């Protein structure tokens, strides 16, 4: 028997005017009745507890539950800043795509120019939702799927076995030579999702995006070295990417809560259709000279230099945003210019502006400066 007509979607209530930001700053937080789990406020909260069960086709049942998660690492602090709040002025459609990925338990493919905030998104999600240290997998041209899943040091095990036999000692456990990678650790059966950053996937060789499909679709992978001994050693304690330990049963790692996967790309290559079908695509343009671009840069400056510093550096923000159309600049250049000018030449305005202009030259200034195309 077919299902009856679906009930009409309920629209969220409009934001309370009392929640509005000061004039000129876009509203990014929403009332508690809104469906957003990640709100972009930069304030830690337990909204992840409100995440509804996954769709049936994305429901995983890994056991036993792995509980211990290390706290947010220093790499997140460096990216998000240590001063003032850590709010990021996301556009409404950007927040909606992030939350859609959370609900659907799908990876998020984030594209954009260098310095547009792609990698920062993963750290911001982990910080706000209290999900602990971000698991980071930087991709290069030689990266393989196994690098992300696990490594096994067979040579070290052989050497230790030979030495143990010479000394008349017992053999060490195989788990001491097996370490889960960032992806492998993210797929452990945590009750709450881990955040995994697959950074610069477009730098990989042609095979890696396709090789990722099964692990991302099935939420599991097998370790042949442990499956061979499963009859004698069903449970093996292995090392994790967090420098901790986890128990693997019968050589199978299967997630419970599918990880929040943020895959970044600078757009240097296209990806195969099967991978794109399994992801949600979020494009983060470089900050533009508009309300949102100014708010995003102002929030970034405030997070790194203090809540009032954005007002003190409006001229540098204006200079950064006022570059020639099509010029490529990274937000890191603005932070470098602010730090150096306030520490080195703060009392000389001409020198300050000259040094800032030098540091904030477009990354592709060779083409733009010469007029070449």
Per-residue pLDDT, 276? 95
Task: Bin 352: left if φ > 0, else alpha if -120 < ψ < 50, else beta.
Answer: alpha
Of residues 317 and 46, more confidently modeled? 46
In the chain, what percentage of residues exceed pLDDT 70? 82
Which of 28-42, 86-100, 193-207, 333-347 holds the top average pLDDT? Answer: 193-207
| Predicted confidence (pLDDT) at residue 82 exceeds the cutoff of 80 | no
Using only C-alpha atoms, what is the Rg of the chain? 24
Instruction: Note the CATH architecture for domain 30-153+173-283.
Output: 3-Layer(aba) Sandwich (3.40)
What is the per-residue pLDDT across 19-46, written as a single tens digit (0 to 9) for each?
A: 333 333 344 444 444 899 999 988 999 9
Q: Return the SS3 of 100.
A: helix
**What's the pLDDT score for residue 310?**
56
Strands (E) in 142-234, as ranges, are 150-152, 178-180, 195-199, 220-222
- Taking 50 as the threshold, does the pLDDT of residue 111 lie above it? yes
- Asked which of 157-166, 239-248, 251-260, 344-353 is least confident by mean pLDDT, the reply is 344-353
State mean pLDDT over 315-336.
77
- Mean pLDDT throughout 314-318? 80
Q: Is 252 left (phi over 0), alpha (psi -120 to 50) or beta?
A: beta
**pLDDT tens for each residue of 191-204:** 999 999 999 999 99
Give the global pTM: 0.81
Q: Are 107 and 281 in contact (CB under 8 A)?
A: no
Percentage of the chain lying above the pLDDT 90 cut? 47
Whether 373 shows a pLDDT value over 60: the answer reads no
Distances 344 to 303, 319, 349, 354, 373 between C-alpha atoms, Å:
21, 19, 11, 12, 36
Task: Give residue 370's pLDDT.
Answer: 42
Residue with tokens 């309370």: 16
For the segment 360-372, the average pLDDT, to the nearest whole number, is 59
pLDDT at residue 335, as a whole number: 85
- pLDDT confidence band for 325 (50 / 70 / 90): low
Q: Reply yes or no on whether the pLDDT at 95 is more than 80.
A: yes
Confidence of residue 354 (pLDDT cuts 50, 70, 90): confident
As a whole number of angstroms, the distance between CA 165 and CA 4 comes to 70
Q: Which of 4-8, 48-52, 58-62, 90-94 has the lowest mean pLDDT?
A: 4-8
As given in the structure block, the two tokens for residue 365 are 């200034």
Place of tokens 């592709």: 364
pLDDT of residue 93: 93
Q: pLDDT tens across 239-294, in order?
A: 999 999 999 999 999 999 999 999 999 988 899 999 999 999 999 987 777 777 77
Average pLDDT over the chain, rounded to an integer: 82
Determine contact, residues 69/273, Cβ cutoff 8 Å.
Answer: no
pLDDT digits 0-9 by tens, 120-152: 999 999 999 999 999 999 999 999 999 999 999
- State the pLDDT at residue 240: 96
Q: How far apart are the first and last CA of the chain?
A: 62
Looking at mean pLDDT, say which of 29-43, 182-196, 335-349 comes out highest: 182-196
Q: How far is CA 31 from the centre of its chain?
A: 25
Q: So what's the pLDDT on residue 9?
A: 37
343 or 369: which carries more pLDDT confidence?
343
- Residue 263 — φ and ψ, nearest 5°? -105, 125
Count of CB atoms within 10 A of residue 194's CB? 26
Query: Can you give the pLDDT at residue 76?
Result: 84
Tokens of 163: 């030495």
Chain position carrying tokens 């679709």: 217
Give me 100's structure tokens: 């859609």
Residue 2 has pLDDT above 80, yes or no: no
């Amino acid at each position: 028997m077919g299902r009856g007509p679906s009930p009409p979607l309920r629209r969220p209530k409009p934001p309370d005017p009392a929640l509005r930001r000061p004039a000129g700053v876009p509203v990014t937080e929403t009332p508690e009745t809104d469906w957003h789990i990640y709100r972009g406020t930069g304030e830690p909260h337990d909204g992840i507890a409100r995440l509804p069960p996954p769709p049936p086709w994305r429901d995983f049942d890994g056991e036993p539950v792995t509980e211990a998660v290390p706290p947010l690492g220093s790499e997140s602090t460096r990216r998000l800043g240590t001063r003032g709040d850590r709010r990021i002025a996301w556009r409404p459609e950007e927040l909606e795509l992030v939350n859609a990925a959370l609900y659907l338990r799908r990876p998020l493919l984030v594209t954009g120019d260098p310095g547009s905030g792609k990698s920062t998104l993963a750290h911001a999600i982990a910080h706000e939702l209290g999900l602990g240290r971000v698991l980071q997998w930087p991709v290069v041209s030689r990266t393989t799927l196994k690098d992300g899943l696990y490594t096994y040091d067979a040579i070290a095990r052989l050497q230790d076995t030979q030495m143990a036999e010479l000394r008349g000692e017992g053999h060490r456990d195989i788990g001491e030579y097996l370490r889960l990678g960032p992806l492998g650790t993210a797929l452990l059966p945590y009750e709450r999702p881990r955040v995994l950053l697959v950074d610069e996937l477009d730098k990989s060789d042609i095979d890696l995006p396709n090789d990722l499909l099964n692990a991302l679709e099935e939420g599991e992978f097998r370790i042949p070295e442990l499956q061979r001994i499963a009859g004698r050693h069903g449970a093996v304690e292995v090392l994790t990417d967090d420098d901790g330990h986890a128990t693997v049963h019968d050589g199978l790692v299967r997630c419970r809560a599918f990880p929040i996967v943020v895959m970044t790309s600078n757009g240097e290559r296209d990806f195969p259709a099967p991978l794109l079908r399994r992801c949600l695509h979020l494009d983060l343009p470089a900050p533009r000279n508009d309300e949102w671009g100014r708010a995003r840069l102002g929030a970034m400056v405030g997070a790194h230099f203090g809540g009032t510093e954005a007002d003190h550096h409006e001229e540098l923000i204006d200079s950064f945003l006022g570059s020639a159309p099509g010029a490529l600049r990274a937000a890191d250049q603005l932070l470098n210019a602010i730090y150096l000018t306030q520490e080195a030449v703060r009392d000389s305005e001409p020198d300050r502006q000259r040094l800032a202009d030098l540091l904030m030259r477009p990354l592709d200034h060779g083409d733009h400066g010469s007029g070449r195309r």
